[in-house]
Structure 1
Amino acid sequence: MTNAPDILRAARRHFLARGAMSLAPLAAAWASQRDQLLAAPVKPELARQSFDLLPKQPRKTPQATAMISMFMQGGPSQVDLMDPKPELTRLDGQQFPGTIKYDNAAQASSRVLGSPWKFRKHGDCGTPISELLPGLAEIVDDVLVVRSMHTGVNNHGQSIHAMNTGRTQRGRPALGSWLTFGLGAETDELPAYVAMTDPRGLPVEGVLNWSNGWLPSLFQGTVVRPREPRILNLEPPERLRGEVQTNFLDLLTRLNRRHISKRKGELELEARIANFGLAARMQTAAREALDIGRETKATQALYGLDEKATVE
């Protein structure tokens, strides 16, 4: 009769021999999955994502059909325009009683400076408006003034980026890019999002202020310059105009479509193809849209074309 210890020893050897054959693959599989070396289980194919400028239907019907964001870097302070600070006025000229975090201004004075301009409540809403803005004061009931937004930084670059993208970190899409991504465009002949620059130069952060960020380049703002050519690289060279350009674009489209058919999901390539098509259609439409001479005299006067300060 076999004694119990022999049976236990045999059973233990049998278990270890068998277990080594089964546990080793499990351990290897776990390690491979951890190191992302093992293929993930097959999942059902999802609908292929694509991007375009076709009009999108928002969840709620908007009252506005267009948006003009006037970002005026270096403009008057909000403290002098629409955001009165009574406490600053009370402490004007005195030493600030609290602590100050200096940034890029190590020798700055700690004396409080109140606004030299007077404020008065206007309209049925009673919004305080500075004496510097008498015209705005007349329509203040149609204006929404937001005073609750602020950033945690006080230098120009990050604050400007936060104003145009919602965050201080670089790389995020600008507001216009998000709107274009979400709503599309009313026409396929003109860009849905344009950035009109100052004749004196670009703001701090430059093109990042109208960048598409991680969205496809189709949603980046198209720069409209203050002088001719209003849109760079829009007009082809003389030798490529007309039928030559048409044939060239047709060939380019066929080659791009063949290329992308072998590379499903290349969203940036799709955006580039869409940009080529938009640029071709813009050659006529943009020229007409930017030709202010086609407007009536009354409209040109509203544009300020008869005044030296606004003729550009």
Structure 2
Amino acid sequence: MRDPLTEMQLQVNRRQFFGRSSTGIGVAALASLLNRDLFAKETAGDATRVGGLPGIPHFAPKAKRVIYLLQSGAPSQVDLLDHKPSLEKLHMTELPDSIRKGQRLTGMTAGQKKFPVVKSPWKFRQHGESGTWLSDLLPHMGKVADDICVINSMHTEAINHDPAITFFQSGHQQPGRPSIGAWLSYGLGSETENLPSFVVLLSKNSFFQAQPLYDRLWGSGFLSSKYQGVKFRSQGDPVLYLSDPAGGSDSQRRTMLDRLAKLNQLRAEEIGDPEINARIAQYEMAYRMQTSVPELADISNESASTLELYGDDVKEPGTHAANCLLARRLAERGVRFIQVFHRGWDHHSNVQKYLPDLAKQTDQGSAALIADLKQRGMLDETLVIWGGEFGRTVYSQGNPKTFGRDHHPRCFSIWMAGGGIKPGITYGQTDDYCYNITENPVHVHDFHATILHCLGINHERLTYRFQGRDYRLTDVHGTVVKDIIT
């Protein structure tokens, strides 16, 4: 047991010392939580916004929110989005060294002596008035081809899954930076006080073959913990401990929270730790979610035509289709950033067996989300993104008869829709081998800069000072891809 003097010395560190100067702000924050009408309007002039920084957005935004369908494991662009008729003639020929150009390979193919090119087993067709090329594995996406922008010239620096997905989530390959959803929560706040500004949904697949997803991928890094993503579960209560214990009443919980907030505020005034104020805010959010989340998760009021649009899987919680519908419901209730993770795209063998299954699990729900947002007049102000952390090789990993595709960061494909993105276009080109970019490369930092631009944010001006340096999502890089913006 430490003596009181030692305890006090341990509590007064440099950050807490300077944090004491913000005690008055903490008192104001507590007052606003307990009497929300006291601070009804935001300094940015948007009366519907909760939180966010003054002066942001920097200019009129195209989008108000983001739904990001992240396909963890890296979908094969060769078999889904990047049509390469040249591979018909190149099939089973050796990938030339002049194309590889000494590229770093993973440990899974670095020892291979031959690199036979393997064409896609599936046909590609043009869809819509735009004539967008899509694989036959994506028949439902073909119905919304005129609403999407396919980018075939994405590239990244990471060649392994964890640094690659961390890069996409935070703009840095090493853990510790805030995720993109946390940056947006910090800068733009939310359009609702009854739900978190950043929600994460994890979809299940029909077989076990998945890269792990860590909570840090939607973490807040060095930002306050109130900006981190809130993960919703697909079974039981969407959020743990959302329900009151048996025998408890709402009035009892309200009294408990009020008294707990006062105790926490006394502690904040004593040691100046800003995370205590974040804890108060999270308790209040959890209280409001007790009412908002059950209503959100209840899809019984959705029309039969809407459920039919998403397909039979929509009735099973945790499927990609169910999470796409839930993402739409979150969006229309004011959540700023919704991220749906779907795992299982890591196909190092037997692509012909596994890829059709994954495409079937995600195709209808993804297309339905776009169609649903559009018919509700929400697509123009909702940015929808689909893609993985890198691409797959055109050459076979292992036996070409039961071929796999290894990691390929040099070029891969994603699609974007709504929220100020030009519809019905294909951007960027790759060579005949789908191995190198030949036109309009788009780096991960450019991708992030473009997302922020659609939301009215100058990516160079959304910063946070930490350990003596101003950090931002795009680090010291990033160029907005203006060619794909309306």
The change in CA–CA distance for 1:75 and 1:155 in structure 2 (over 3 A counts) is closer
The answer for the alignment partner of 1:179 in structure 2 is 184
CA–CA separation in structure 2 for the residues paired with 1:230 and 1:46: 34
The answer for the alignment partner of 1:208 in structure 2 is 216
CA–CA separation in structure 2 for the residues paired with 1:275 and 1:144: 37
The answer for the alignment partner of 1:222 in structure 2 is 230
Q: Does 1:117 align with 2:122?
A: yes
Q: Counterpart amino acid of 2:124?
A: F
Cα deviation code 1:137-183 (max 9, x no counterpart): 34323212223321122212222222222322111222211221121
SS at match of 2:306: helix
The answer for the alignment partner of 1:102 in structure 2 is 105
Asked whether the 8 Å contact 1:161–1:205 carries over to 2, the reply is: no
- 1:188 deviates by 0.9
SS at match of 1:195: strand
Q: Counterpart amino acid of 2:296?
A: A
- 1:88 deviates by 4.7
Cα deviation code 1:54-83 (max 9, x no counterpart): 266512232333321111224641221112
The answer for the alignment partner of 1:151 in structure 2 is 156
The answer for the alignment partner of 1:269 in structure 2 is 276
Worse overlay, 213-222 or 117-126: 117-126
CA–CA separation in structure 1 for the residues paired with 2:65 and 2:191: 10
Cα deviation code 1:94-123 (max 9, x no counterpart): 222214533130444522222223334444
Cα deviation code 1:214-252 (max 9, x no counterpart): 211111111111111221121232244433222211111
The change in CA–CA distance for 1:150 and 1:206 in structure 2 (over 3 A counts) is same
SS at match of 2:259: helix
CA–CA separation in structure 2 for the residues paired with 1:292 and 1:275: 26
Give the 4+ runs in structure 1 shifted more than 6 A: 45-52
Q: Which has the higher contact order (CA 8 A, sep 6+)?
A: 2
SS at match of 1:248: helix
Q: Counterpart amino acid of 2:243?
A: E
The change in CA–CA distance for 1:89 and 1:177 in structure 2 (over 3 A counts) is farther
The answer for the alignment partner of 1:79 in structure 2 is 78
* Unpaired segments ≥5 residues, structure 1: 1-44
The change in CA–CA distance for 1:93 and 1:215 in structure 2 (over 3 A counts) is same
CA–CA separation in structure 1 for the residues paired with 2:76 and 2:249: 49
Asked whether the 8 Å contact 2:52–2:186 carries over to 1, the reply is: no
Q: Counterpart amino acid of 1:54?
A: G
SS at match of 1:289: helix
Q: Counterpart amino acid of 2:70?
A: F
CA–CA separation in structure 1 for the residues paired with 2:90 and 2:253: 68
Asked whether the 8 Å contact 2:23–2:268 carries over to 1, the reply is: no
The answer for the alignment partner of 1:61 in structure 2 is 60
The answer for the alignment partner of 2:200 in structure 1 is 195
The answer for the alignment partner of 2:173 in structure 1 is 168
Q: Counterpart amino acid of 2:63?
A: A
CA–CA separation in structure 2 for the residues paired with 1:294 and 1:150: 42
Instruction: Work out the percentage of aligned pairs sharing the same amino acid.
Output: 35
The change in CA–CA distance for 1:46 and 1:198 in structure 2 (over 3 A counts) is closer
The change in CA–CA distance for 1:233 and 1:216 in structure 2 (over 3 A counts) is same
Worse overlay, 225-234 or 197-206: 197-206
The change in CA–CA distance for 1:88 and 1:169 in structure 2 (over 3 A counts) is farther
TM-score (norm 2): 0.49
CA–CA separation in structure 1 for the residues paired with 2:219 and 2:93: 43
SS at match of 1:129: strand
- 1:269 deviates by 2.0
CA–CA separation in structure 2 for the residues paired with 1:61 and 1:119: 38
- 1:84 deviates by 2.7
The answer for the alignment partner of 1:294 in structure 2 is 301
TM-score (norm 1): 0.73
Asked whether the 8 Å contact 2:123–2:136 carries over to 1, the reply is: yes
Asked whether the 8 Å contact 1:92–1:114 carries over to 2, the reply is: yes
The answer for the alignment partner of 2:262 in structure 1 is 254
The answer for the alignment partner of 1:130 in structure 2 is 135
- 1:197 deviates by 0.9
* Unpaired segments ≥5 residues, structure 2: 1-20, 30-48, 318-486
CA–CA separation in structure 2 for the residues paired with 1:309 and 1:274: 33
CA–CA separation in structure 2 for the residues paired with 1:250 and 1:208: 30
Asked whether the 8 Å contact 1:53–1:180 carries over to 2, the reply is: no
Q: Counterpart amino acid of 1:291?
A: D
CA–CA separation in structure 1 for the residues paired with 2:162 and 2:96: 28
Q: Counterpart amino acid of 2:72?
A: Q
SS at match of 1:194: strand
> Which one of 215, 233, 237 corresponds to residue 241 of structure 2?
233
